[in-house]
Amino acid sequence: MKVSRNLKYIFVAMICLCAVTFDSHAQYDISIEIKNSTTDTLLLGYFNRGATYSIDTAVNKKNKFSFKSKTKKLDDGIYFFANTKGRHCEFMIFNEYDLKFFTTEDDWTANLRVKGSKNEELYLQYMIESDGLAKQYNSILNGRDTIDKQEYDSKLKILSAKNDSLKKDFIDKYPNHLLSKIFQCAKPIEIPNFPTIYTKDGSVDSLQMKQESFNWYKQHYFDNIDFAYGGLLNTEKKIFMDKYNEFWDDVMKYEKIDTILYYAHKIISRAIDDNMFNFLVYDITKRYLQSKFIGHDKIYVEMVDKYFSSNRFTAMTVSDIEKNILRADKWRNLLIGKQVPDLGCPTHDDKSKWYHLDGMKTKYKLLVFWSVDCGHCTVDMPKLKEFYDEYRQVYDFDIFAVHTENRIEERDEFLKKHEIKWTNTNGLFATYDWREYFDIEKTPVIYILDSKDKILMKNISVSSLKQVFDILEKDGFNL
C-alpha cells in the first residue's frame, strides 16, 4: 500500500480536534530511536477523516524520542512522526499502544523496524515489500524510452499483478488486521452483468437496465467496508472518506427520504466500534440538518429521535445533544404531511375582527409570514401579488398572511400602495404562539397547505410557486 506523503500543512501549528471528539481506546508509550539523528524535535500525528493532525511532540535525547501519555488516548489508524521541515515516516496503530521503533537518519521509512508489536511488524513488512515493488515500477517508468512498448507494458503488468498478489496474500493470512480492512475498503464494487430487459415492443429497455445496475450498486456499495473497524476513520481521505462522502453526495442525492433513512440505519447497525458509531450518527444527522432539499428535515428528526438519547452517542456535549433534541421536537410538527393547528389572528386594521385559517375553503392555502421592515419581504410581496392575481382561480388557492412585527403604519401603507387585499392579519395577537410553533426566525416564510391544513410544501420562494403548484396538481410530491 502506498500512502500519501503530502503533509506539508500539518507543521504550521499543533492542531487539535475541537468540533467533535470521539472516544478512544488506550494510553500510549511510543519511543523512536533514530541512529545518527540530526533532528531536534519530532511531531507525532495521525490521519483523521481525510485530514492530518499533530497531537504530541518529543525532543531528541541521544537519538531517542519519546511520546508518552497516561491520560491521552490513541485510536487505531495510520500515524506518522515528522520533523518541522516536513520529513515524515508513517506507521500503524492497531490494538497495541506500547511501541518501540528503530530506524536510521539516512532513510526513516525503508529502515524502520519495531520491537514487541506483532501487528506493527506485519504492517512494516508489507510496506517494505510494497516499497520494493514501487521502486521497480519507478525504474521502469524512468527507462521507458530505452525499451519497446510491448516490453514496457508487459513489465508494468507483471508488477501490477505482484502488487495485487501481495495484498491478496496479506488479506488471506491476516483477514482481521486493520491493513486488510484498508485494502478491502479500497476495492471498487464490480457490478455484475444483468440479463437483457426488453420493452413490450421487443426493443432493449436500456433505461430499465441502467436502473437495475444502479440499484445493485446502491445495495452493495459498502460491501467492502467493515464498519466494525473505527481505524478506517484514521486513514487517508481516498481510502474511506472519499468513498463514504460519494455515497451520500451522489448515490443518495435524489433518493426518497425513506430510502435514505433505510441506508443510514443499515450502515449504523454495522458500526460495532464506538468511534465509528459516533462518527456515523453525527455526520449523517449533520448532513440532513444542513440539507437544502425539501423534506430532508424528516431525516434529521428521525436520526435525533433514534440515536441522540442513547448512552452510546457521545460525539456532542450533553447541552448540544439537548439542543438538538429540542430542535427535533419542534421540527416534527412542521414535517411534510403534518396538519397545522387552526391559526387565528385579528385583521390588520380591526382588532375586533378575527380571521381563522380553518375558515378558508379553497383547495390550497398559502400561509405567509412577513414583515414590512424585511427587505426580502418588500421585494417578494408585490411578486406574490402578481402571482395571486394571475393564478388564484387556476389553482384554487388563497393567502393567509401574518405580519410579524409592530410596524402598523408602515405595513398599512405598504398594503395600500400595492393593493394587497388577501387575508392580512396582525400577528401580534394570535390563538397560539405561531413564532414558536413554526420556528420563525426570519421572513418571508411560505407554507402551502391543503384544504385540511396539512403541510404540502414549505420554505419555498415566490419564484418557484408556479412550478410547485404544477407538480401538486399533477402528481403531488413523492418524498
Check which CATH number belongs to the domain holding 23 and give it: 2.60.40
The verdict on 399 and 444 lying in the same domain is yes
453 within a domain of the structure (yes/no): yes
The verdict on 92 and 14 lying in the same domain is yes
129 within a domain of the structure (yes/no): no
Structurally, the chain folds into a number of domains equal to 3
Phi/psi of residue 316, each to 5°?
-135, 160
- How many CA atoms does the CB half-sphere of 261 hold within 13 Å? 17
Residue in 95, 140, 142, 149 with CA at minimum distance from that of residue 119: 95
The verdict on 350 and 470 lying in the same domain is yes
440 within a domain of the structure (yes/no): yes
The verdict on 355 and 445 lying in the same domain is yes
The verdict on 45 and 77 lying in the same domain is yes
The verdict on 313 and 370 lying in the same domain is no
pTM recorded for the entire structure: 0.86
Q: What is the pLDDT of residues 232-251, one digit of tens each?
A: 999 999 999 999 999 999 99
The verdict on 376 and 297 lying in the same domain is no
Give the residue from 307, 334, 361 where a domain finishes. Answer: 334
Residue 110: domain span: 8-116
The verdict on 75 and 51 lying in the same domain is yes
d(CA 438, CA 440): 5
139 within a domain of the structure (yes/no): no
Residue 477's pLDDT is 67
Q: What is the CATH number of the domain that holds 425?
A: 3.40.30.10
224 within a domain of the structure (yes/no): no
Give the residue from 278, 310, 334 where a domain finishes. Answer: 334
The verdict on 470 and 348 lying in the same domain is yes
The verdict on 366 and 433 lying in the same domain is yes
Residue 443's pLDDT is 95
44 within a domain of the structure (yes/no): yes
The verdict on 349 and 312 lying in the same domain is no
Give the residue from 273, 306, 334 where a domain finishes. Answer: 334
Residues of the chain with pLDDT under 70: 1-26, 477-479
Residue 5's pLDDT is 40
The verdict on 349 and 373 lying in the same domain is yes
